């Protein structure tokens, strides 16, 4: 399964509660359920939720855990404070205007010493797509900013989340989105080269050789960057128990 977040680096353990904010069709939800976690996926897209809900529920039943998908946004999470051990927010922050507010809300629902993984497209790949055409940023629901990693890390820090690790992923997807940008996103699926490369990507997910190759290429031209962060426990004020 194609995951952006390394669940080992997130230190996900059986029985922990995980929120996938911006879950799409639930690929990280399924990956977490396979680790024995209790999972809630949240997304604004009803079509994505309809597509993924049955699979998440079925996988949860098979694993003897809890799995659900709900509709909502990262600015108003319908959960109480400090109720999740781990949180994933993958490829969301580049779409929202106030990513700092989203980071504060993610921090709110994370328990002290819990961990988060927040992923964004790399600035290098985004700049490349922008040079190839404007569709990538002007299409409905497209990206509204090109992130620098330090910018995101500062936003997380302001929310009380300390970055403890960095990862890179999906180098083989970088040429794919470049091809789509060159073809023009509204028409990209009609392009024979785009369709052929998509077939290659699907085959690559099941090829150990290509998986190892991509791990090397991730250090050269990754599509996504992952910040792993920890919610630090607040220290008691002097003179207080």
Structure tokens at 206: 């099941």
Residue 39 forms beta bridges with which residues? 18, 67
Residue 116 forms beta bridges with which residues? 87, 229
Q: Tell me which residue of 88, 47, 49 sits closest to 70, measured CA to CA.
A: 49
Residue 19 forms beta bridges with which residues? 40, 87
Q: Which residue has the higher pLDDT, 107 or 241?
A: 107
Can you give the pTM of this predicted structure?
A: 0.91
Domain borders along the chain are 17-231
139-192 pLDDT, tens per residue? Answer: 666 788 888 899 999 999 999 999 999 999 999 999 999 999 898 888 899 999
* 79-94 exposure pattern, b = at least 16 Cβ within 10 A, e = fewer: beeeebbbbbbbbbbb
The CATH superfamily assigned to 17-231 is Vaccinia Virus protein VP39 (3.40.50.150)
User: Residue 237: pLDDT above 60?
Assistant: no
Dump the DSSP string for 62-103.
HHTS-EEEEE--TTS-SS-TT-EEEEEEES-GGG-S-HHHHH
Residue 58 forms beta bridges with which residues? none
Mean pLDDT confidence for 223-229: 97
CA distance 194 to 196: 5
82-98 pLDDT, tens per residue? Answer: 999 999 999 999 988 89
Structure tokens at 21: 């904010």
Structure tokens at 84: 């999740």
41-85 pLDDT, tens per residue? Answer: 999 999 999 999 999 999 999 999 999 999 999 899 999 999 999
Q: Tell me which residue of 228, 226, 231 sits closest to 91, measured CA to CA.
A: 226
State which H helix or E strand residue 116 sits in.
strand 110-121
Mean per-residue pLDDT of the chain: 92
């Amino acid at each position: 399964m194609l995951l952006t977040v390394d669940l080992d680096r997130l230190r996900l353990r059986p029985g922990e509660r995980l929120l996938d904010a911006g879950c799409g069709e639930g690929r990280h939800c399924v990956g977490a359920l396979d680790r024995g976690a209790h999972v809630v996926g949240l997304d604004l897209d009803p079509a994505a939720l309809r597509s993924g809900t049955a699979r998440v529920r079925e996988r949860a039943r098979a694993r003897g855990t809890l799995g659900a998908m709900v509709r909502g946004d990262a600015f108003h999470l319908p959960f109480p404070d400090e109720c999740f051990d781990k949180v994933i927010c993958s490829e969301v922050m580049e779409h929202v205007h106030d990513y700092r507010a989203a980071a504060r809300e993610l921090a709110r629902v994370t328990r002290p010493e819990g961990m988060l993984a927040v992923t964004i497209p790399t600035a290098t790949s985004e700049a490349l797509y922008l040079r190839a055409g404007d569709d990538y940023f002007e299409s409905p629901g497209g990206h509204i900013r090109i992130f620098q990693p330090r910018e995101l890390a500062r936003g997380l820090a302001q929310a009380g989340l300390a970055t403890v690790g960095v990862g890179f992923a999906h180098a083989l997807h970088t040429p794919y989105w470049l091809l789509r940008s060159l073809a023009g996103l509204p028409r990209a699926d009609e392009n024979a080269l785009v369709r052929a490369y998509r077939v290659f990507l699907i085959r690559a997910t099941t090829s150990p050789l290509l998986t190892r190759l991509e791990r090397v290429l991730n250090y050269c031209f990754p599509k996504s960057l992952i910040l792993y962060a920890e919610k630090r426990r607040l220290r008691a004020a002097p003179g207080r128990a």
